[in-house]
Amino acid sequence: MENNSKIYVAGHRGLVGSAIMRKLESKEYSNLIYRTHKELDLTDQKAVNDFFEQEKPDYVFLAAAKVGGILANSTYPAEFIYDNLMIETNVIHAAYKNNVKKLLFLGSSCIYPKHAPQPMKEEYLLTGELEPTNEAYAIAKIAGIKLCKYYNQQYGTNFISVMPTNLYGPNDNFDLKTSHVLPALIRKFHEAKINKEPEVVVWGTGKPRREFLHVDDMADACVYLMENFDAQEIGEFVNVGVGEDISISELAEIIKKIFGFEGEIVYNNSRPDGTPQKLLDVTRLNELGWNPKISLENGIKNTYRWYMDIKHD
């Protein structure tokens, strides 16, 4: 990518999209284009086609998606599969029709089978049943990977796919009904501390293990791959993570310590745990020359500062 290349970031106000915008701006890419959902509904095929024909972007970061945690995925599966399928299909096809030089599609680590061997290698895709609580979302993301693969195969496009592990950071979702585990715990511990509550209730047993990557590291990896590698070098897709995981109970203890919360942590065993472990094998990414820079503790502190800033705006 050149500094004056026209770069479209789809989903620029979301967790990943906003981080990609920050990264591109810090590297002095000066021709960034984007639209809010109100300005451009990516599930509307005609609107997407009109936008691409008018703007003719050179590069596309497809970070737009309907996302949520266990509760949201379980409650709205039809919306999760429909919206994500439509977004991917419309943007990827329009990118092909309008000769986009390179597109990067963001998937999710939930594409892997529920009981995949750990850590999860890229070749484990479609080797077993998915986690039921987010199957609809996972199927949509798998479809996006395959769209990129087959457009490359049939049309000679240069569409690459990346599979991030659990992400967190500025612009995360802190709504307890729809958020992922880390931002939910940040909010719970914050509110428990200021309200002097005796305990924080954590969903599930605390035993599931998860890997967490700061979204600024994710953005750095995305831009690095777009700048340096083509689809045939990356393969069907590449995992993006840190290669280490911790249990939910360990995560809760870290956040408790950072916040200085003196109450108890209580586990609600009636709530679902989800997948027992989700750890990505990041060997391929490391071989491509990229490694994360932000530690989990520093990343949580950074995210909490952002959360406090928006609460006081």
Average pLDDT, the chain: 94
CA dist list (Å): 274 to 136, 294, 296? 14, 26, 22
Dihedral (CA of 61, 76, 125, 86) sign: negative
pLDDT (0 to 100) of residue 190: 94
Cβ atoms within 10 Å, residue 233: 11
Percent of the chain with pLDDT over 90: 85
* Strand partners of residue 266: 201
Residues within the annotated binding site for NADP(+)?
A: 11-17, 106-109, 141, 164-167, 180
- 184 close to 69: Cβ distance less than 8 angstroms: yes
Work out the pLDDT band at 96, boundaries 50, 70, 90.
very high
Round to whole Å and give the CA distance between 254 and 279.
Answer: 19
The two beta strands, 209-210 and 246-247, are antiparallel
- 158 close to 152: Cβ distance less than 8 angstroms: yes
- 26 close to 70: Cβ distance less than 8 angstroms: no
* Strand partners of residue 71: none
pLDDT (0 to 100) of residue 277: 84
Instruction: Classify residue 133 by its DSSP letter.
Output: G
Amino acid letter, 145: I
Q: Given a cut of 80, is residue 104 above it in pLDDT?
A: yes
Round to whole Å and give the CA distance between 148 and 153.
Answer: 9
pLDDT (0 to 100) of residue 288: 97
Q: What is the largest CA-CA distance in the chain?
A: 60
**Domains within the chain, CATH numbers bracketed:** 7-171+212-244+279-294 (3.40.50.720)
Q: Given a cut of 70, is residue 128 above it in pLDDT?
A: yes
Work out the pLDDT band at 312, boundaries 50, 70, 90.
low
Q: Which of the two residues, 290 and 311, has the higher pLDDT score?
A: 290
Residues with catalytic roles: 137
What integer is the mean pLDDT of 131-151?
A: 95
Q: Closest Cα partner for 135 from 17, 255, 274, 256?
A: 274
pLDDT digits (tens, 9 = 90+) for 175-226: 887 778 899 999 999 999 999 999 999 989 999 999 999 999 999 999 999 9
Residues within the annotated binding site?
A: 11-17, 106-109, 141, 164-167, 180, 188, 203, 210, 273
For 73-77, 108-112, 118-122, 137-141, which range has the lowest pLDDT when averaged over its residues? 73-77
pLDDT (0 to 100) of residue 134: 87
Residues within the annotated binding site for substrate?
A: 188, 203, 210, 273
pLDDT (0 to 100) of residue 276: 80
Cis peptide bond prior to 208, omega within 30° of 0: no
